[in-house]
């Protein structure tokens, strides 16, 4: 189903975004030494956005699964 494929791609994208933001947060210690700079607020916002995107894609998968189950029940 198209819904599953799109949602799975969205989950993978959300995971990549989350990992990227988490890596930035992990580098905050390095930033304190002056060798690198990290915008902690932007990283925190990115973490929240990726969590929300992940949740939304999970809901899409649930709805697609419910629709498929309803179709199967109606057919047979």
Decide: pTM greater than 0.85: no
pLDDT at position 25, please? 84
Please list the rounded mean pLDDT of every run of 10 residues in the chain (76 residues). Answer: 84 93 79 61 90 94 92 90
Residue pair 60/7 in contact (Cβ under 8 Å)? The answer is yes
Q: Please give the torsion angle defined by the CA atoms of residues 36, 40, 41 and 47, in that order, rounded to the nearest 10 degrees.
A: 120
């Amino acid at each position: 189903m198209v819904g599953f494929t799109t949602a799975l791609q969205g989950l993978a994208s959300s995971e990549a975004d989350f990992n990227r933001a988490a890596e930035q947060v992990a580098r905050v210690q390095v930033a304190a030494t002056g060798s690198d700079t990290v915008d902690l607020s932007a990283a925190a916002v990115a973490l929240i956005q990726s969590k929300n995107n992940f949740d939304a894609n999970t809901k899409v998968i649930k709805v697609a699964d419910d629709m498929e189950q309803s179709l199967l029940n109606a057919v047979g």
